[in-house]
Every structure is written in C-alpha cells, then in structure tokens.
C-alpha cells in the first residue's frame, strides 16, 4: 500500500455514477472509509445506509453520508461525480459545461480550504474541461488533479476488439485518446492483441478484412454513452468500474498506465490543455505522462481534440468560471 495517512475516499454526487462507484468501491476492499456527499442530503443518506447494510458481505469499510466541506478532511482521494448528466441521447457532454463548471469549481474550492493535500479525481462531464478548470482554480501540481478521461472509452474499445477477435479483453491492449467526447479517437498504431501489434495479429488470424471494420468499431465506442442513455437514461456501471481502477492504482501505488485526463505542458506538442493520454497512475496521482509514438494522423487527431476543448474553455470566459 502507498503511504497515505488514510484510505478515506469521498464521493461527491450520490446519483447514478456516484452510487454505482460507491457500490463497486465498497466491494473492492481498497478503501477503509467511504463518505457520500450530495446537495440532496437525503439521497446521500439513503445510498449510504443501503450500502452499509451489505457490510457483512465485504471487507470492513466505514460507509456514511456527510456534508462538505468538513467531509473532505483526511480524505486521500475526493472523487467528483456531482452535477448534471446528459438529459438524453441528443445532448452532448459539452452542453453540460456551463452549469457543471460552477458546481465543480465550488466543490474544489471547498476541498482546497480543508484538505490541500488531497488527490482530486473528476468524473463529472465534460470531464476534460472540468479537470482543467479545477486545476486552474487550485493551482495544484498537475498530478493531483486528474480526470477519468478516456479510461472508460478505452475499456469499451478493448471489449469491442476482444469480441471481434474472440480473445479475452485482458489480452487486448488499446487506447482511446483525446477528449472524453465526440472528438476522441482510436490510437490504432498502439493496439496490441495477444502481444502482437494489431496488423501482425491480423496477418496471423486472417479471419476478416479488419481494416474495413475499424471505422465501425470506433463509432461504436464514440456512440456508446448515447446508446446506453437512450436505453436506460444514464450510464453508471462502466464508469463506476473505471473509477475503481483509477482509485486502486492510486491507493495501492500500482503505477498502472491509464488514459486519464492530464494537463499537458508541452507533451505531444500541446500546452494549457487537459485531455486523455496514457499516464502512469500511482500514489501521487499522475506520476508521469507517456508520450506514445503516434503516427502523424493520430498526432493530428489529438491536436484537433485539443482545439475543440480549447474553444470550449474559451467560451467559459477567461478559462475560469
């Protein structure tokens, strides 16, 4: 275990994402305390009580509802899921920006006032922009404010590739990079199946003409959230499990490579922007950013995604709400 003073995790927002994450985190056994905070205090209380009743079935963890800012004291990690979600399959994540920027800014100001040592993990959308805004607000080292980025999208990508190839997703290494949103892209040059680069794997497998399937698979990844929201109104389980992986990597100092949202300071030729790139995640949050050798087309796609995010941050006015 990493040398944290506590393994307390605070979850802000006890809705679909926050409660799904709390459920998965409780079962993971990695936290010793989970505090749920929501402006809807009854919701936080109800979720905490419901979860606490499973206590005999998982390793000891103190689950309770709390109210900020006092709740943030002694937390190793604060995970922010509070805010508006996409109202339906026609609403993009970027359309949530104005309202959620105000919510996230006020939450991180509260965290900073009582626990300036915490690691803050943002999941609220648009996650890249809100992680950027939160970092500007706190001026913390970039490793300590990270977003869930394209960790979920990369998992969706790995699953779709695995289904296509008939191989376990654990033997498929693949990343979606850029905005967690419509401009995200597949880094095809980094895909490995069973330890082989994708093209080599295809030349061994020869069951399909995979090059023609690529655009469909990427589109399925990009549209995943819209499809799920169309069916059931929100997405929660996938993101919950992705958040557990990130929190585990931090609390256990796993130094896992994940495509979290990171502030770039010259990597990939980009500055003053926050988006999903491969990062080493450990006890300090983002320990390092890996500058993968992307092919020129992918470098352009990353720059395009950065440009879209920058234009939207400018719309927020001065970059900070």
* Footprint on this chain of ligand NAD (rule: CB under 6 A): 12-18, 37-40, 43, 81-86, 93, 96, 100, 103, 107, 123-125, 127, 148, 152, 180, 234-235, 239
Our CA dihedral for 90, 244, 83, 129, rounded to 10 degrees, sits at -70
Closest separation in Å from C-beta 96 to ligand NAD = 6
Nearer CB in complex with ligand NAD: 86/301:
86
Closest separation in Å from C-beta 303 to ligand NAD = 22
Nearer CB in complex with ligand NAD: 45/192:
45
Closest separation in Å from C-beta 237 to ligand NAD = 10
Query: Distance between CA atoms of 82 and 103, rounded to whole angstroms?
Result: 7
Residue nearest to ligand NAD (CB): 15
From the list 173, 180, 192, 227, the catalytic residue is: 180
Is 180 among the catalytic positions? Answer: yes
Closest separation in Å from C-beta 195 to ligand NAD = 28
Question: By CB neighbour count within 10 A (0-12 exposed, 13-18 middle, 19+ buried), where does 219 fall?
Answer: exposed
Pairing relationship of beta strands 279-282 and 256-258 according to DSSP bridges: antiparallel
Q: What is the CB neighbour count within 10 angstroms for residue 84?
A: 16
In sequence order, what are the beta bridge partners of 57? none
Nearer CB in complex with ligand NAD: 17/136:
17
Nearer CB in complex with ligand NAD: 13/278:
13
Q: Residue 66, SS3? A: coil
Which is nearest to 104 in space by CA: 140, 78, 86? 78
Closest separation in Å from C-beta 149 to ligand NAD = 8
Alpha helices in 34-82 (DSSP H): 41-52
In sequence order, what are the beta bridge partners of 257? 280
Nearer CB in complex with ligand NAD: 69/194:
69
Q: Residue 154, SS3? A: helix
Closest separation in Å from C-beta 202 to ligand NAD = 30
Closest separation in Å from C-beta 42 to ligand NAD = 10
Nearer CB in complex with ligand NAD: 148/301:
148
Nearer CB in complex with ligand NAD: 44/172:
44
Which is nearest to 278 in space by CA: 236, 307, 249? 249
* Residue 110, token pair as written in the block: 């509260």
Question: By CB neighbour count within 10 A (0-12 exposed, 13-18 middle, 19+ buried), where does 317 fall?
Answer: exposed
Q: Residue 161, SS3? A: helix
Which is nearest to 221 in space by CA: 172, 167, 150? 150
First to last CA, the chain: 37
Do residues 155 and 184 touch, judged by C-beta distance below 8 A?
no
Report, as residue numbers or ranges, the catalytic residues.
180
């Amino acid at each position: 275990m990493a040398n944290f003073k506590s393994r307390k995790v605070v979850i802000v927002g006890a809705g679909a994402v926050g409660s799904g994450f709390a459920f998965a985190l409780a079962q993971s056994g990695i936290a010793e305390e989970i505090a749920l905070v929501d402006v809807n205090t009854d919701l936080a209380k109800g979720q905490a009580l419901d979860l606490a009743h499973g206590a005999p079935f998982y390793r000891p963890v103190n689950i309770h509802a709390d109210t900020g800012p006092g709740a943030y004291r002694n937390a190793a990690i604060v995970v922010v899921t509070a805010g508006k979600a996409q109202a339906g399959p026609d609403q993009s994540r970027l359309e949530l920006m104005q309202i959620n920027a105000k919510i996230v800014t006020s939450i991180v100001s509260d965290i900073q006032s009582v626990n300036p040592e915490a690691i803050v993990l943002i999941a609220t959308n648009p996650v890249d922009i809100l992680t950027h805004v939160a970092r500007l607000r706190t001026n913390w080292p970039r490793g300590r404010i990270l977003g869930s980025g394209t960790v979920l999208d990369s998992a969706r990508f790995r699953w779709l590739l695995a289904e296509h190839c008939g191989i376990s997703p654990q033997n498929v290494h693949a990343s979606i990079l850029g905005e967690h949103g419509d401009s995200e892209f597949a880094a095809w040059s980094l895909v490995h199946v069973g330890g082989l680069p994708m093209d080599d794997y295809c030349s061994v497998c020869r069951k399909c003409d995979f090059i023609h399937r690529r655009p469909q698979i990427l589109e399925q990844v990009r549209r995943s959230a819209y499809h799920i929201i169309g069916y059931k109104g929100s997405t929660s389980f996938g993101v919950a499990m992705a958040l557990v992986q990130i929190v585990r990597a931090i609390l256990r100092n796993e130094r896992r490579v994940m495509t979290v949202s990171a502030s770039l300071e010259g990597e990939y030729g980009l500055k003053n922007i926050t988006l999903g790139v491969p990062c080493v995640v450990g006890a300090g949050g983002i320990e390092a950013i890996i500058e993968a050798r992307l092919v020129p087309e992918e470098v352009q796609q990353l720059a395009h995604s950065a440009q879209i995010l920058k234009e939207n941050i400018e719309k927020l006015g001065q970059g900070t709400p």
